[in-house]
Structures are given as C-alpha cells and as structure tokens.
Amino acid sequence: NAGVTQTPKFRVLKTGQSMTLLCAQDMNHEYMYWYRQDPGMGLRLIHYSVGEGTTAKGEVPDGYNVSRLKKQNFLLGLESAAPSQTSVYFCASRGYRDRDHNEQFFGPGTRLTVL
C-alpha cells in the first residue's frame, strides 16, 4: 500500500514551459487535493476534486489546470510556467467513508523551480 505518490520529486523549468505533475493514490479515496507551499507559508489549496471527472477551484487556482480522468489519479498542469510558480507542491487525498476521521493523506511533495 503505497498511499499517495507524486511524480516527479524535483523539476526545473524555464519560464513559459509547460509540465504536468502526477498524483496517484491507492486507497480508493474520493477526494483529492493539490496544495502549494511557499517559504514562510503554510500550504494553500490550488484545486481539488470530489470524484472522477469533477474538479473545483481552491484558494490560489490561477495559472493551473487539473484533471481527474481516473479515480486514483489527479493531475496538475502548468501551461506556461512563471517564476511565481516556484514552490513545493503537495497532493493529498481523503476518503468519503473516512469523514469521521477526517484525515488527509499527503504525498511527499514535488519541488518545482521556474527560472
């Protein structure tokens, strides 16, 4: 049981390049989330998904797109990367049936640098 995994772990991009971050979970969770963490800040929610084929905006969605074509995967895309998107990105998941426990399970993070 791998939990939540993220690919890649590190990436360096040039301004204007595009990339996709992949999040996968093997816990059959309904809810999935993408956060970013900047220095001196807590995590901030970018987008989230309540199920396959559905996504919604979080606190800081601009410049990002997401897709959830399969229940176990949640993709975060940057169409034209900007230096302001240099950050550590975390994926998380939570099960609907776990609502009484309310724990979000986090991936290990992806460190992205945009030059």
Partner 1 sequence: AQTVTQSQPEMSVQEAETVTLSCTYDTSESDYYLFWYKQPPSRQMILVIRQEAYKQQNATENRFSVNFQKAAKSFSLKISDSQLGDAAMYFCAYRSGGGGADGLTFGKGTHLIIQP
Chain residues binding partner 1 by CB under 8 A are: 30-31, 33, 35, 40-45, 48-50, 56, 58-59, 88, 90, 92, 94, 99, 101-104, 106, 108-109
Sign of the torsion angle spanned by Cα atoms 6, 37, 75, 14: negative
**Strand 73-78 relative to strand 65-67, pairing:** antiparallel
Closest distance to partner 1 from the beta carbon of 16 (Å): 27
Closest distance to partner 1 from the beta carbon of 31 (Å): 5
Nearer to partner 1, 15 or 96 (CB): 96
Structure tokens at 113: 């640098």
Q: By 3-state DSSP, what share of the chain in percent is helix, strand and coil, each rounded to 5?
A: 5, 50, 45
Closest distance to partner 1 from the beta carbon of 115 (Å): 21
Closest distance to partner 1 from the beta carbon of 82 (Å): 23
Classify the phi-psi angles of 57: left when phi > 0, otherwise alpha if psi is within -120 to 50, otherwise beta.
beta
Number of H helices, E strands in the chain: 0, 11
